[in-house]
Amino acid sequence: MPPVLTLQSLPLFPLGAVLFPGGLLPLRIFEVRYLDMIGRCRRAGAPFGVVCLTQGSEVRQPGRSEAFCQVGTLATITHLETPQPGLMMVRASGTQRFRITRRDQLRHGLWVGDVERLPDDRAVPIPTDLQPTADALRKLIESLQQKTVGSELPLQPPWRLDECGWVANRWCELLPLPNTVKQRLMELDNPLVRLELVSDVLARTGIAK
């Protein structure tokens, strides 16, 4: 078994959303703690960790504590603009899942954690009975490409429409599922099971049959 890769003092960004590997994350940054964090990550070419909030809000409020899930996703900055002082417009990309082993909140409010990286999804081919789920995503991507400027697409290439994990992750991002459900799906280690569960949701809604 390969050794577990760890990161120490990873800056954490608790959000009211679940980031999946391969997913896009647009951010509007104006809090001092995150302006500093994003600036440091950008200069160092380093990732930060996105974790889903279970208590509190994205914007720090006096007297309200924040709580978040133990499993999150590393994010790397792909684009950054500063339209005015004190404001950053960021696009980041989800890369690898991780599990927090220790966390601390610094004096100015930023969370940092020691984390262990979780294995990437295995490249499991789409089985015949789940092919309609992949076909429906392909049709949706084609429709979005016709209607949207490429840089604004909610999905980013390469399109790995033959892999269970990639197809499942993209549907998880697009479907209006509760964050608790998305989090459980993201934490699943088996990409085939994840796609089966997503396919059940699509079948019930009539999107893919």
Give tens-digit pLDDT for 156-203: 888 999 999 999 999 999 999 999 999 999 999 999 999 999 999 998
Above 80 in pLDDT, residue 150? Answer: no
The predicted structure's pLDDT at residue 156 = 83
Task: With beta carbons less than 8 A apart as the criterion, state whether 51 and 100 touch.
Answer: yes
- Predicted local distance difference test score (pLDDT) of residue 3: 52
Helix (H, G, I), strand (E, B) or coil at 80: strand
Per residue in 53-73, pLDDT (tens digit) is 999 877 776 666 889 999 999
Q: How far apart are CA 186 and CA 45, in angstroms?
A: 25
Query: Which domains, from first to last, does the chain contain?
Result: 6-117 (2.30.130.40), 128-205 (1.10.4060.10)
Mean pLDDT estimate for the chain:
90
9-61 tens-digit pLDDT: 999 999 999 999 999 999 999 998 999 999 999 999 999 999 999 998 777 76
Residue among 34, 2, 40, 36 nearest 15 (CA): 34
